[in-house]
Amino acid sequence: MSHQQQQQPWGGDLKVPDWLRRLARRPKGDDTPKRAHERGWEQRHPAEGPSVLENVDRAIFGAFSEGHPGNREEPRGR
């Protein structure tokens, strides 16, 4: 591998943390066209099934979190 090779460009956009942006007194940038497109797709296709937080809860507490009466569905016969 030669050290004289052309460097490869980075993949993806750079996200500056808000605290650093405020420190440099820079305005918040607009969304890129790609991010706007992704946001539209997420609104048109909502996620099905458990949320990320529900999956974390199940991973940590297992069956104990699902046994709470507030998490149970109503019986179908009532």
Q: Model confidence at 18, in pLDDT bands (50, 70, 90)? A: confident
Across all residues in the chain, what is the average pLDDT? Answer: 76
User: Tens of pLDDT along 33-51?
Assistant: 887 888 887 788 877 887 8
- Residue whose token pair is 């999956």: 55
Q: Is the full-model pTM beyond 0.85? A: no
